[in-house]
């Protein structure tokens, strides 16, 4: 009988990320809103997967810090929405990057929605 091997957290996250990316794709009209979350900050960018270009980017280093990291994430979402609307982008495909849709990732999505983007 074979013994099951446990996988590391990073291996499981990579597997989730690949599964999500196999299902979503960004175009110029509806780019992919990719989210990267680290312990220090949160980063968001709108990507045209056909051309392989980043159209808009925003991160927590370029906004005023909120009371906590969740509030800062909401501000990043609002900033990326503001920049996207300047580029005539109104709708995006949300790529949570293997993270659970909770906390900072959900706050960024809510901020983008309140800024005028359709997710």
pTM of the model: 0.89
Mean pLDDT of the chain: 93
Is there a contact between 84 and 92 (Cβ–Cβ < 8 Å)? yes
pLDDT tens string 30-55: 999 999 999 999 999 999 999 999 99
Across the range 49-71, mean pLDDT stands at 94
Rounded distance, CA 115 to CA 37, Å?
20
Q: How confident is the model at residue 105 (pLDDT cuts 50, 70, 90)?
A: very high
Rounded distance, CA 83 to CA 70, Å?
20
User: Which class would CATH give 27-114?
Assistant: alpha beta
Q: Identify which of 60, 69, 74, 62 has the alpha carbon closest to the alpha carbon of residue 110.
A: 74
Sequence ranges of the domains in the chain: 27-114
Q: What is the predicted pLDDT for the residue at 7? A: 86
Q: How confident is the model at residue 6 (pLDDT cuts 50, 70, 90)?
A: confident
- Residues 6 or more apart whose CB falls under 8 angstroms from that of 94 comprise 24, 32, 33, 35, 109, 119
Across the range 9-21, mean pLDDT stands at 91
CA distances from 100 to 10, 77, 96, 105 (A): 14, 16, 7, 7
């Amino acid at each position: 009988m074979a013994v099951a091997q446990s996988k590391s957290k990073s291996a499981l996250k990579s597997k989730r990320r690949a599964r999500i990316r196999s299902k979503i794709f960004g175009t110029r009209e509806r780019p992919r809103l990719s989210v990267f979350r680290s312990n220090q900050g949160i980063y968001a960018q709108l990507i045209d997967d056909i051309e392989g270009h980043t159209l808009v980017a925003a991160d927590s280093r370029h906004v005023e810090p909120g009371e906590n990291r969740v509030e800062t994430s909401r501000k990043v979402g609002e900033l990326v929405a503001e920049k996207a609307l300047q580029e005539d982008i109104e709708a995006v495909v949300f790529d949570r990057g293997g993270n659970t849709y909770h906390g900072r990732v959900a706050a960024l999505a809510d901020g983008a929605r309140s800024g005028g983007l359709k997710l």
